[in-house]
Amino acid sequence: MTRDELMGALSGMRRARIGNRRAPHKPLLVLWLLGRFVASGGTAVTYDEAEAPVSRLINDFGPALTSRSRTRDRAAMPFVHLERELWDLRGHDGQAIGPDAPERGTWLRNNGAHGRLRPEAEVLLADPGTLAATVRLLLEQHFTPSLEAPVCDAVGLDLTGLDEVVYVPSAKKQRKRRAGFVEEVLHAYAYACAFCGFDGALGRNPVGLEAAHVRWHSQDGPDEVSNGLALCSLHHTLFDLGVLGLLPDLRIQVSQLYVARSAAGQTIDALHGKPVATPRPGRPTVDPRYLHWHGQQVFKQPLLRCGARTRT
């Protein structure tokens, strides 16, 4: 396996879906394995070891659970279905486990399932440049910029250190962001957060304000004002994590999974039910198609609720 072949295999991972929802289970498993590789020099792991931490990553950075989903053994799907050109999966008898094995944690534990990235892939990943390129490729293809640091922190990777490594991008180029998108979105919302109104500036330059994609750029979201919101850094991150969302009538909703003890944290709760700011005259509001995508794919609540929000 060459470096280009490794990058091609990672780029070509089939994007799994559960119903109509994205399922970033495989890239999260690989990123977790890369964190393990950095810490220990290897990626060999039993399903029993991987189940809880990988399931937690999927719960945190994937779409919300449905009522029938199992919180703990969500790691079973990528453990079974990660492409075999990258992944060697075997049972307690040493025999290979095929991708048609049951996606059940109980079955994998009972059969002593254990896997590792292919040895030839591990050899390539020992090069810091290849490791950095691998991490960057997975982040850019499957997530959005505000989640890159939280994902890397969760898997034990130093994103800043990785980005300091000089590497050659993979042959498969990522779709470039359109120049001017950020300025157009900030101008459309009068350089203020559409959720809280924050409009800080340092001299004449706005600070702490960002142009958020409603439908993520990595998930084919366009660089258009109708797919953008001006948000402060905090609310941008919470929007991309699924803590905050928008109803079709453009009222803000807060996930029922969100909890806060401090007065500062509870200011997020106070946003629930408030209307999002409208853009300047002549600029489009958020397209309902992108609102629907965010509600289905990012917001941490199984069903959109139009009524009062309750706590359990």
Nearest partner of 134 among 31, 225, 246, judged by Cα: 31
Catalogue the long-range contacts made by 138-141 (C-beta closer than 8 Å, 24 or more residues apart).
138/10, 138/27, 138/30, 138/31, 139/31, 140/174, 140/218, 141/11, 141/27, 141/174, 141/218
Secondary-structure breakdown of the chain: helix, strand, coil percentages, each rounded to the nearest 5: 45, 10, 45
Residue count (the chain) = 312
Full pLDDT tens readout for the chain, 312 residues: 999 999 999 999 887 666 677 889 999 999 999 999 999 999 999 999 999 999 999 989 988 766 555 566 789 999 999 999 999 999 999 999 999 999 899 999 999 999 999 999 999 999 999 999 999 999 999 999 999 989 999 999 988 787 776 444 444 445 567 778 999 999 999 999 999 999 999 998 999 999 999 999 989 899 999 999 999 999 999 999 999 999 999 999 999 999 999 999 999 999 999 999 999 999 999 999 999 999 999 999 754 444 444 443
| Greatest extent of the chain over all pairs of C-alpha atoms, in Å | 68
Nearest partner of 76 among 18, 36, 154, 148, judged by Cα: 18
pTM over 0.85: no
Give, for 230, the enclosing helix (H) or strand (E).
Answer: strand 228-232
Q: How many CB atoms lie within 10 A of CB 114?
A: 21
Nearest partner of 161 among 125, 139, 138, 129, judged by Cα: 129
Nearest partner of 66 among 311, 297, 310, 309, judged by Cα: 297
Give, for 139, the enclosing helix (H) or strand (E).
Answer: helix 128-142
User: With b meaning 16 or more CB within 10 Å and e meaning fewer, what string describes 3-27?
Assistant: beebbebbeebeebeeeeebbbbbb
